[in-house]
Amino acid sequence: MDRITQTPAEAFVGRTIANRYRLIEKVGEGAMGAVYKATDANGAPCAVKMMHAQAVADPALRTRFEREAKALFALRHPNVLEVRDYGVESGLPFLVMELLSGKTLEEMVVDHTPDPQTGVELGKQTLRGLAYAHAQGVLHRDIKSENVFVTWDGQSYRCILLDFGLVKLDDSIHGPSQKLTMAGSIMGSPAYMSPEQGTGDVVDARSDVYAMGVVLYELVTGEWPFAAESQVEMFRMHLLEPPPPMASKREHLVVLPELEAIIQKALAKKKADRWADAGAMLAAIEALPAKSAWIDASGRSRPSAVTMPTPPVAPPTPLAAPTPMAQPVSAPSSGPSVALIAGLIGVFLLAMLIGAGVLFFLLR
């Protein structure tokens, strides 16, 4: 067995491993290992992921990595990161993968939340990759927007499912093996974690489906269904709280009830109430109309306290100046009014009285 080196990740830059992969620069690093930009023996670009010594010091972890690497090496799908080779260098297991250029779904959402229908399409591509993995008996167990990479070729997006670091193999397909994950252990990311993952219960394809429900919800709305100040509170919400309607998370968002129902089913608390696997969820989404979510620019889909939607019966009428309170008068007639006639008679009688008085004074 190769002696495990304690060499820092930076020290591998410039070295050639396995006599054919030259590590050019370190482009990323996590708790489990470092990722390098590299070239193969023919000068073609590639990426190399090498595990840290502390991550493989445990024989069980190393056995799991090697077993999982063999399964991932067999996965070939446009929406799954291509693993081209694997091996061991100085006691450290490594994977050779395709080199990608672009950004993660998480970065896309943070930079500028995509148009809702674009979000649905990106989620659909991710589901295709996950459905393929499920069909091969591979569970991801850490689905999140950070683990989906997006490339752009000038005409279209391509989503690639990455980082199967917490992958679990289906023993019914890959054969029995020792149990490498302790019962009660928690794996995954809190914002995307299914209720059973949060409690350390047994996971299966429906746990990945739950996480994909969170990813699709995030792509359409720009937000997670559940957000909290602490992991404990977030676990509680995943366990007990129903997901808010997506339209409540994004201004003027309109979502077809069919899409809402698909995502709500993916986010069901009980595994038995979810889609059986990513393939079943994908089939439901692909059956949707071409446009299943959009922003209503007029704002009529989400009325506010200031602007209310206009009923479709008739167009709005302009506001008129307020009219004075009506007085109880008789219906109009074609001739002079009664009040006018009475006034004239009064004037005539007054004139007669004045004339009679003047005549009486003169005759005295």
Q: What is the DSSP string of 201-246?
A: ----HHHHHHHHHHHHHHHHHSS-S---SSHHHHHHHHHHPPPPPG
Whether residues 28 and 116 fall in one domain: no
Whether residues 120 and 184 fall in one domain: yes
Tell me, yes or no, whether 259 lies in a domain: yes
Whether 66 has a pLDDT exceeding 70, the answer reads: yes
Global pTM value: 0.74
Q: Which of 162, 165, 201, 166 is nearest to 187 (CA)?
A: 166
Q: Which two tokens stand for residue 137?
A: 């008996």
Task: Single out the residue in 97, 128, 147 at which a domain terminates.
Answer: 97
Whether residues 143 and 107 fall in one domain: yes
Q: Which two tokens stand for residue 120?
A: 């649905």
- What band does 7 get if pLDDT is binned at 50, 70 and 90? low
Strands 138-139, 157-161: pairing is: unpaired
Domain count, the chain: 2
Catalytically annotated residues? 142
Q: What is the DSSP string of 113-136?
A: PPPHHHHHHHHHHHHHHHHHHHHT
Whether residues 93 and 107 fall in one domain: no
Whether 121 has a pLDDT exceeding 60, the answer reads: yes
Q: Which two tokens stand for residue 32?
A: 């489990």
Whether residues 129 and 275 fall in one domain: yes
With tokens 């020792």, the residue in question is 178
What was the pLDDT predicted at 70?
76
Residue 160 lies in domain = 103-295
Task: Single out the residue in 258, 278, 295 at which a domain terminates.
Answer: 295
- Domain CATH for 255: 1.10.510.10
Tell me, yes or no, whether 346 lies in a domain: no
Whether residues 63 and 188 fall in one domain: no
Tell me, yes or no, whether 348 lies in a domain: no
Tell me, yes or no, whether 148 lies in a domain: yes
Whether residues 186 and 251 fall in one domain: yes
Whether residues 87 and 129 fall in one domain: no
What CA–CA distance (Å, rounded) separates 51 from 65? 9
- Domain CATH for 59: 3.30.200.20
Average pLDDT over residues 269-286: 98
Whether residues 215 and 280 fall in one domain: yes
Question: DSSP alpha helices (H): ranges in 136-194?
Answer: 171-174
Tell me, yes or no, whether 144 lies in a domain: yes
Average pLDDT over residues 8-32: 89
pLDDT tens-digit profile of 218-234?
Answer: 999 999 999 998 989 99
What was the pLDDT predicted at 308?
28
Tell me, yes or no, whether 337 lies in a domain: no
Whether residues 164 and 228 fall in one domain: yes
Out of 51-55, 60-64, 210-214, which region has the weakest mean confidence (pLDDT)?
Answer: 60-64
Task: Single out the residue in 34, 65, 97 at which a domain terminates.
Answer: 97
Whether residues 136 and 256 fall in one domain: yes
Tell me, yes or no, whether 358 lies in a domain: no
Tell me, yes or no, whether 349 lies in a domain: no
Whether residues 164 and 212 fall in one domain: yes
Average pLDDT over residues 292-304: 70
CA distances from residue 77 to 57, 73, 84, 160, 173 in whole angstroms, order as listed = 32, 11, 12, 9, 19
